[in-house]
Amino acid sequence: MNIIWNKTYGQFHLYNDSISYIIGTAPGGELTNLYFGKRIHAADDMSYVIFRMGMPNVAVDADTESYSMELNRQEYPSFGTTDFGTQAYEIEMSNGSRVSSFVYKSHTIFPGKKQINGLPATYAKDEEAMTLEVELCDEVAQASLVLSYTIFDRYPVIARHAVFTNRGNTRIKLTRAMSCCLDLPDQDYEWMQFTGAWARERIPETRKLGTGTTSIESKRGTSSANQNPFIIIKRPHTDDFAGEAIGFSFVYSGNFLAAAEGGTHGRLRILMGIHPDRFTWPLDKGDSFETPEVIIAATDKGLNDLSQTYHMLYNNHLVRGKWKNEPRPILNNNWEATFMDFTEEDILRIASKAKEAGVELFVLDDGWFGERNDDFAGLGDWVENPEKLPQGMSGLARKINAMGLKFGFWIEPEMVNPNSNLYRRHPDWVLATPGRKSSLGRHQLVLDFSRPEVVDHIYNMLFKVMSDAPISYIKWDMNRSLTEVFSMDASSEEQGTVYHRYVMGVYSLYSRLIEAFPDILFESCSSGGNRFDAGMLYYAPQAWCSDNTDAIDRIRIQYGSSYGYPIVSIGSHVSAVPNQQTGRSVSISTRANVAYFGTFGYELDLNELSDEEFAEVKDQIAFMKKYRDLIQFGRFYRLRSPFETDQAAWMVVSEDRSRAVVGFYCMRSNVNTLPGFLKLAGLDPDRQYSMEGEKYYGDELMNMGITLMRFYKEGFTISEDHASFVTVLEAV
């Protein structure tokens, strides 16, 4: 990795073994993008790619009238100075003007990477990355703008964000502050987004790009289940195994916008950042605003390679603490077994059976606190219910520890029920617009986490429960979108800061709890996958993938999640049947075969199973313990898409290519068809592998494939609805 500054021509070249990113200065001093893509040996002067021609346009260089921003690629464009595309930022000055022009002033190049104040971000040691910070200034606005670029040594990745600072004496207002813009020279791309809703999250959708704007967004206060803050643009013929693609992942958990704008002169502009709607950030003298980070990754080897880049980068440079690259404990959660109707005796009985099966962690879900017997009451009152826990959380935790199990519990700290002691004492602590009714979601309101005193109060309550008991795990839920967003504590000019300050408050509470309890494994949850984003991985290294635990639907959800997020981050459990969400009954074998490819656990009462099923559960847990390091941290390949066929398949391969685990799923049977072959990936072509007692060469398995006839057995066929198999390959 390296960053070269060519002072003569005013150009930067960021590169490693895989990619090059080249930035120049335009005639007026603005930054322009000269190249981004596969590593090249760049000329000393790359300004020959700048387009200069007399055309029917407006020129920013008045002397020659030959350079227009509209015709050239910008690094961080504004509107109103000959670029008529979507802008990356906007500043409103005291006189009402919204025209800005930031020009090059200075730069700094240094090893490693700085943290972003109060926000999640990737990190790197000095030998693992290089960072370029370019300072630009607008003399009229009396403001500075620092654009930050980090290139990693091992990954085809650029991390970007921006910092605005008011250098003058007059207040200015930031009304738009995207984290990155990338202008590309052509529009021959397809756009991939990951869309859905509650219980059907992160479903890939692809469309052709061209002239005009394609965008996704969230204005829900969370990154949302509806649109994930991760997109891919790819060449039309790119698939999982070959072709060019660029990914954009937003390390943030609130409102966002991701857009692709095709101009009429052929340029393609990609923007990602905080959604500008209902965003205004006043800056007084000396005040700064830092945007969250966007991770841009590139490949010319297909979408599996792009996904593997994000998996490895996030496992090694985003997840922190004790659980970084650590296999996750196999857990049993009581939610679908008892819901809120339980006693301590019920919980101990379920936990005892879980221990017998080989489970390592027991999790107590909703209903343990306040007057919480249903959804209508108790949220906000984080004190143990003595009727359910007569010796408190500490007493239950110690009894479960005595069984040989670790213990954790569920919280939803951002919410409050109107029927709660907290709300009765502090009705002004919720997000609510004066004079207007408040919407309810799951019978709850949203606490105003933009206010430090609210965060302090929740922290103190949770700290007491957590410090009194031996806790190993916390499931942090968040079950509704933000509405009527208004803070009783903010002035009229500060209301545009509330959405972002809310997210900063969430991050602050996470940080304080992690600092106080560094060994606890946090799992984020937001009605399942409503806040499944890179920002949360910085605090909680795994996320409950979806409230939909139906194995067949989960194939699609986990498949879509794998494009941008590590397998070890995907919370996946075996749940009871008929399934709570779909009513579908699927064999416990297939339920486990899907759940293996994630954190793995059980969302049911194992006492309810037959002896035969319980014996199978014990075998499943033994299998996962044997192979979880490989499954959770190996190189993941998507093999067959459940969105294109009635079958799905994926596999994980060890870094040395000596072992692999393959999962295959028949979602819907087809009559009178041959079983066919499944081509594998990532193996050593010249090594032999043992599979199901037979030996095959790697090139045979990758080019011809596994004959699926191999998995026909008496009384079982992979062509049956909901049938599946998982098989292991070991190098001979």
Chain segment 538-548, per-residue pLDDT in tens = 999 999 999 99
**Res. 683: pLDDT tops 60:** yes
Active site residue 547: yes
Give 497's DSSP letter. Answer: G
Give 377's DSSP letter. Answer: B
Residue of 83, 381, 547, 553 marked active site: 547
CA distances from 580 to 57, 340, 573 (A): 60, 15, 13
pLDDT for position 718: 60
The C-alpha atoms of residue 472 and residue 22 are separated, in whole angstroms, by: 47
pLDDT band at residue 55 under the 50/70/90 scheme: low
pLDDT band at residue 130 under the 50/70/90 scheme: very high
Q: Is the dihedral of CA 696, 698, 701, 704 positive or negative?
A: negative
Nearest to 269 by CA among 3, 79, 66: 79
Query: What are the tokens at 529?
Result: 């996958």
The C-alpha atoms of residue 326 and residue 315 are separated, in whole angstroms, by: 10
Topology of domain 647-731, per CATH? Immunoglobulin-like (2.60.40)
**Number of Cβ atoms within 10 Å of the Cβ of 655:** 11
Residue 699's Cβ-side half-sphere holds a number of Cα atoms within 13 Å equal to 2
> For residue range 383-396, what is the model confidence (pLDDT) as tens digits?
999 999 999 999 99
> For residue range 445-492, what is the model confidence (pLDDT) as tens digits?
999 999 999 999 999 999 999 999 999 999 999 999 999 999 999 999
Q: What is the mean pLDDT of the chain?
A: 95
Residue 568 is which amino acid? V
Q: What is the mean pLDDT of residues 332-337?
A: 96
Instruction: Please state the separation of Cα 728 from the chain's center in Å.
Output: 29
> For residue range 570-611, what is the model confidence (pLDDT) as tens digits?
999 999 999 999 999 999 999 999 999 999 999 999 999 999
**Number of Cβ atoms within 10 Å of the Cβ of 273:** 29
Collapsing DSSP to helix, strand or coil, 526 comes out as: strand
**Number of Cβ atoms within 10 Å of the Cβ of 53:** 9
> For residue range 146-166, what is the model confidence (pLDDT) as tens digits?
999 999 999 999 999 999 999
2-317 CATH pick, 2.70.98.60, 3.40.50.1370, 3.40.50.300, 1.10.300.10: 2.70.98.60
pLDDT band at residue 716 under the 50/70/90 scheme: very low
The C-alpha atoms of residue 93 and residue 86 are separated, in whole angstroms, by: 20
The C-alpha atoms of residue 257 and residue 311 are separated, in whole angstroms, by: 23
- The residues spanned by each domain of the chain are 2-317, 321-633, 647-731
321-633 CATH pick, 3.20.20.70, 1.20.950.20, 3.40.50.720, 1.20.140.10: 3.20.20.70
What is the 3-class SS of 171-223, one letter each residue? CEEEEEEEEEEEEECCCCCEEEEEECCCCCCCEEEEEECCCEEEEEEECCCCC
Query: What are the tokens at 251?
Result: 């390390």
Nearest to 554 by CA among 539, 572, 542: 572
The C-alpha atoms of residue 285 and residue 141 are separated, in whole angstroms, by: 12
**Number of Cβ atoms within 10 Å of the Cβ of 243:** 18
pLDDT for position 391: 97
Q: What is the mean pLDDT of residues 225-253?
A: 98
Active site residue 477: yes
Nearest to 392 by CA among 384, 382, 400: 384
Nearest to 420 by CA among 371, 457, 465: 371
Helices and strands of the chain, counted as H and E runs: 12, 39
* Assessment of whether the complete model's pTM goes beyond 0.95: yes
Close Cβ partners of 236 (under 8 Å, ≥ 6 residues apart): 188, 189, 190, 208
pLDDT band at residue 714 under the 50/70/90 scheme: very low
Residue of 477, 533, 553, 605 marked active site: 477
Close Cβ partners of 203 (under 8 Å, ≥ 6 residues apart): 194, 195, 196, 556, 557, 560, 643
> For residue range 14-33, what is the model confidence (pLDDT) as tens digits?
999 999 999 999 888 999 99
Give 710's DSSP letter. Answer: G
The C-alpha atoms of residue 153 and residue 74 are separated, in whole angstroms, by: 25
Collapsing DSSP to helix, strand or coil, 594 comes out as: helix
pLDDT for position 72: 87
The C-alpha atoms of residue 312 and residue 53 are separated, in whole angstroms, by: 44
pLDDT band at residue 69 under the 50/70/90 scheme: confident
**Which residue's structure tokens are 């000269």?**
34
Query: What are the tokens at 412?
Result: 């939803």
Close Cβ partners of 601 (under 8 Å, ≥ 6 residues apart): 330, 331, 332, 333, 359, 361, 571, 572, 573, 574, 595
**Res. 41: pLDDT tops 80:** yes
pLDDT for position 715: 45
> For residue range 486-504, what is the model confidence (pLDDT) as tens digits?
999 999 999 999 999 999 9
The C-alpha atoms of residue 123 and residue 115 are separated, in whole angstroms, by: 7
